[in-house]
Amino acid sequence: MEPIILLEDVSFSYEGASGRALDGVRLSITPGEFVGVIGPAGAGKTTLAHALSGVTPHVRRGDFYGAARVAGLDTVSSSVAELSKTVGCVFQDIESQFVTTMVEDEILFALENFSVPRDEIPSRVDRALNDLDIADLRLRSISTLSGGQKQKVALAAALALAPSVLVLDEATGELDPASSVQVFELLTQLQRERGATIIVIEQKIMLLCAYAERLLVMDQGRVVIDGSVRRALEQPDRLLALGVNCPRVTTLAARLREKGLYHGAPPVSLDEAEAMVREALA
Ligand SMILES: Nc1ncnc2c1ncn2[C@@H]1O[C@H](COP(=O)(O)OP(=O)(O)OP(=O)(O)O)[C@@H](O)[C@H]1O
Ligand SMILES: [Mg+2]
């Protein structure tokens, strides 16, 4: 299948900065993949998210090398507005994301600007608000909301559009565990029902690994591990050395394997973790 995202040797350095925020990134993602991205602070995760949405190099300026194609568009020769018709994003710097001042308007704005049929708009707004459990915030001013509520509004606006590519950059950082799970369920629904491609940068690695099929680990502007979630989790020492806070259950799996007490793959769910512990105790 044709890749929906294709990065060929993409490097980027911010204006005035000496080092490269992205350094020779090669990446091919096929439609419908659910890809997790992890890595230590400053690894280039946000710059990668920006490169997919065109924010880099159009808004955050600097020297861009290589080629990036997303949904058939070259990110350097296409405008951010053009890209945003297919690439939905929730950015880490959420304050910079809002274009209106009221919750309902934020979701309406997205739908009205992306040629969603008029008669569909009211039901799409209702659904987005209900999906994120924020119907009660509908008429609130965004500036009065908590960090977590703001994240839900940005997620609702992004999900309402049902984009073919959705990029989330630490978009659940201020949500409680139940709401975070709910967001991942919504992402999976978008992936299954619409064949959307989902790219999620996330600190909650265990949660990410329960939903993502493929994991990219970034360090110093490079993608240093790219493979199935299980394969990435099979290298806990490498992840720890990179400064990625590895799930404890993954480290435990590696130790038990070393001692010959466990023979399976690193668990990616609570059930699998329980099965591992039972095997080790048996
Ligand atoms: N606007 C900017 N101007 C100059 N340098 C920047 C800018 N934004 C990021 N950088 C640098 O680019 C590199 C990659 O940063 P980036 O924000 O992409 O990392 P990250 O993996 O998202 O980090 P975090 O986990 O802290 O969000 C870092 O060295 C950072 O200091
Ligand atoms: Mg970041």
Contact 5, 14 (CB under 8 A): no
Asked, for residue 58, whether it belongs to a domain, the answer is yes
Rounded mean pLDDT of 121-136?
A: 96
- Give the domain range for residue 125: 5-229
Q: Encoding tokens for residue 214?
A: 């493929």
Write the CB contacts of 108 (distance below 8 Å, at least 6 apart in sequence): 100, 121, 125
Please choose, from the candidates 168, 242, 180, 237, the residue with its C-alpha nearest in 3D space to the C-alpha of residue 206. Answer: 180
In a domain, 269, yes or no: no
Whole-model pTM: value is 0.94
Examine residue 131 and state whether it is found in any structural domain, yes or no. yes
Residue 241 lies in a domain: no
Q: How far apart are CA 51 and CA 91, in angstroms?
A: 12
Half-sphere exposure of 213 toward its Cβ, with a 13 Å CA cutoff?
A: 11
Kindly give the distance from the C-alpha atom of residue 48 to the centroid of ligand 1, in angstroms, as a whole number: 10
Within a domain: residue 69?
yes
Average pLDDT, the chain: 94
The predicted-structure confidence for 159-178, as pLDDT tens digits, reads as follows 999 999 999 999 999 999 99
* Ligand 2 center–CA 260 separation, angstroms: 38
pLDDT, one tens digit per residue, over 86-126 is 999 999 988 889 999 999 999 999 899 887 899 999 999 99
Q: Is the CB of 282 under 6 A from ligand 1?
A: no
Confirm whether 114 is domain-assigned: yes
Q: From the CA of 119, how far away is ligand 2's center (Å)?
A: 37
Q: Please report whether residue 50 resides in a domain.
A: yes
Look at the chain and report how many structural domains it folds into: 1
Q: What is the pLDDT of residues 207-245, one digit of tens each?
A: 999 999 999 999 999 999 999 998 888 888 899 899 887
Whichever domain contains 191, its CATH number is 3.40.50.300
Q: Is 108 in the pocket of ligand 1 (CB under 6 A)?
A: no
- Hey, what are 30's tokens? 């096929």
Q: Is residue 265 part of a domain?
A: no
Q: What residue ranges in the chain does DSSP mark as E strands?
A: 5-14, 22-29, 34-38, 62-70, 73-74, 87-90, 165-169, 197-201, 214-219, 222-228
Who contacts 44 (Cβ-Cβ below 8 Å, separation ≥6)?
Answer: 21, 22, 23, 25, 218, 220, 221, 222
Nearest CA to ligand 1 atom 12: 21
Residue 10: its pLDDT value, please? 98
